[in-house]
Structure 1
Amino acid sequence: MSPDEYFDDIVDELAPEGVHTAKLFGSRALKLDSKVFAVVHSDDMVFRLGAGTRAHTDALGLAGAELFDPSGKQRPLKDWVAVPADHSGQWSLFAEAALAHLRQELRARR
């Protein structure tokens, strides 16, 4: 399957939880309310997992995974991990973890 097909499967899986698609810098993204928590970037999928969380550590442990640096200027975003297409079979798990992390943050703000 292509990255877009995996993305579509994840959208279908998470839609009942209020997740919808959006565009972020021209790329397809997953959003809950007004907050993006995952985005397709080239052949990678990038997840906002929260620095220091188990999912963040697990994602960075995958071959080729790295902190996401959208500027390309050696200023990576500490909460975001780019997971290569080689690991697309795990993207759904990371999307769920990113959604759970976002929900936890939103609850903490209330």
Structure 2
Amino acid sequence: MTPDDRFDEIATDLAPHGATAGAMFGKRALKAHGKAFVCLKGDLLAFRLGDGSPAHAEALALSGAELFDPSGKHRPFKDWVAVPVAHADAWLHHAETALDGLDR
């Protein structure tokens, strides 16, 4: 399964909870309440988890995970964690957590 296919599955799973597909920095993204919370960049899916939160630490601890740098210019977003496709089985969990975080 490609990262795009997995993104589509997650978008379908989260649609009943108010998530809609859109774009962020020209990349595929999921949004809710007017805010992006998931962004696909190549083989990485990035999640807005909130710097310092347990969910942020959990995602960042995954092998190959890193702070999300959409521009590629070494200016990462501190609230976002990009998780590689090797952990695609965890993507839905992190997407649900990111979506739940928008309500706070």
TM-score by length of 1: 0.90
Structure 1: which amino acid aligns with 2:14? Answer: L
- Aligned to 1:21, what secondary structure does the other structure show? strand
How is 1:68-107 mapped onto 2 (pairs within 5 angstroms)?
Answer: 68-104=68-104
Structure 1: which amino acid aligns with 2:33? Answer: D
8 Å contact kept, 2:41–2:70: no
Q: Deviations over 1:22-76 (max 9, x none)?
A: 0112211000021000010011000000011111001010000000122323221
Following the alignment from structure 2 to structure 1, what is the Cα–Cα distance between the partners of residues 28 and 73?
Answer: 22
Q: Which has the larger radius of gyration?
A: 1
Following the alignment from structure 1 to structure 2, what is the Cα–Cα distance between the partners of residues 35 and 49?
Answer: 13
Unaligned runs of 5+ in 2: none
TM-score by length of 2: 0.95
- Aligned to 1:71, what secondary structure does the other structure show? coil
Percentage of matched positions with identical amino acids: 53
Structure 2: which amino acid aligns with 1:13? Answer: D
Following the alignment from structure 1 to structure 2, what is the Cα–Cα distance between the partners of residues 27 and 77?
Answer: 15
Residue number in structure 2 paired with 1:60:
60
Residue number in structure 1 paired with 2:17:
17
Aligned length: 104
Following the alignment from structure 1 to structure 2, what is the Cα–Cα distance between the partners of residues 7 and 41?
Answer: 11
